[in-house]
Amino acid sequence: MLEVRDLVVGYGKAAVVHGVSFDVRAGEFVVLLGRNGAGKSTILHALSGLIPKRGGRVTFEGADITAATARKVVQAGVIQVLEGHRVFHSLSVEDNLLVGTYVRSPRGDRSKLDRIYAMFPEMAEKRHDAASRLSGGQQQILAVAQGVIGEPKLLILDEPSGGLAPIVIDRILDVAAQLCREGMSILLVEQIVEKALRHADHCYLVDTGRIVGDGPADTMLGSAALHDAYLGRSSG
């Protein structure tokens, strides 16, 4: 479904992502794991058209989206939930959700709300509260719901666990797994290893802007490649 080939991305003079290739198949839950500064968010931002690519090719459902703008990428069915639960603080929960529908209908689409409230009952309760009044965990759930309401074919989640309590992390990963069972493809970026691997089908390890290993998620835990990606390379 998503094919990334030899992706090169950088900031200023420095290349940060040095020729990364990976796939997300239809209906698959893929996780990119790697420590702080490995280049995970940079890869995602380049895919989503938020920062330019310096090389490589990205296709989605057979269409070349290498040079697509962020808007075109979203319209193709790829929606990214950014790192750090970014929601519109001054808007209500419901208005934040309606913003998420703009990608399909410029005036907003209230008909999508019921399904989202059924999926995220904690948001239904708070629908009229300003997002600023939510806890960090609730804001992250809102950010995910805002992505989901846009009905992506591929939902990209950038470190949804960031700074949150284990119970919230579990909730978000459970929702992602449920969406995947319903047919949505998931590309998750994480630093927390075990929980992410428990939910994913396939795992890629990212270290200093390269893919340094990959395999079925259930075989990665305890692997030497995983150990190296987190603790630095051993002798070779």
Ligand X SMILES: Nc1ncnc2c1ncn2[C@@H]1O[C@H](COP(=O)(O)OP(=O)(O)OP(=O)(O)O)[C@@H](O)[C@H]1O
Q: Distances in Å between the alpha carbon of 57 and those of 15, 34, 46?
A: 16, 22, 11
Q: Using CB under 6 A, which of the segments 33-41, 105-113, 118-126, 130-138 binds ligand X?
A: 33-41
Cα-to-chain-centroid distance, residue 51: 16
> For residues 93-122, which are near ligand X according to CB under 6 A?
none
Size of the site for ligand X (CB under 6 A): 13
Task: Show Cβ contacts of residue 111 under 8 Å, excluding neighbours closer than 6 positions.
Answer: none
Q: Using CB under 6 A, which of the segments 36-44, 123-131, 146-154, 180-188 binds ligand X?
A: 36-44
- 48 lies in the site for ligand X, by CB under 6 A: no
Which position among 2, 29, 42, 73 is part of the footprint of ligand X (CB under 6 A)? 42
Which position among 26, 37, 105, 110 is part of the footprint of ligand X (CB under 6 A)? 37
Residue closest to Mg ion when measured from CB atoms: 41
Which position among 16, 24, 179, 184 is part of the footprint of ligand X (CB under 6 A)? 16
Q: Using CA atoms, how far apart are residues 230 and 206, in angstroms rounded to an integer? A: 9
Q: Using CB under 6 A, which of the segments 30-38, 94-102, 105-113, 128-136 binds ligand X?
A: 30-38
Site string for ligand X, 171-200 (x = CB under 6 A): --------------------x---------
- DSSP output for 7-60: EEEEETTEEEEEEEEEEE-TT-EEEEE--TTSSHHHHHHHHTTSS--SEEEEEE
Rg (CA), the chain: 17
Task: Starting at the earlier edge strand, list the strands of the sheet with 210-216.
Answer: 78-81, 154-158, 185-190, 29-33, 202-207, 210-216
> For residues 27-46, which are near Mg ion according to CB under 5 A?
41
C-beta atoms surrounding 55 within 10 Å: 15
> For residues 76-95, which are near ligand X according to CB under 6 A?
83
Residues engaged in binding ligand X (CB under 6 A): 11, 16, 34, 36-42, 83, 159, 191
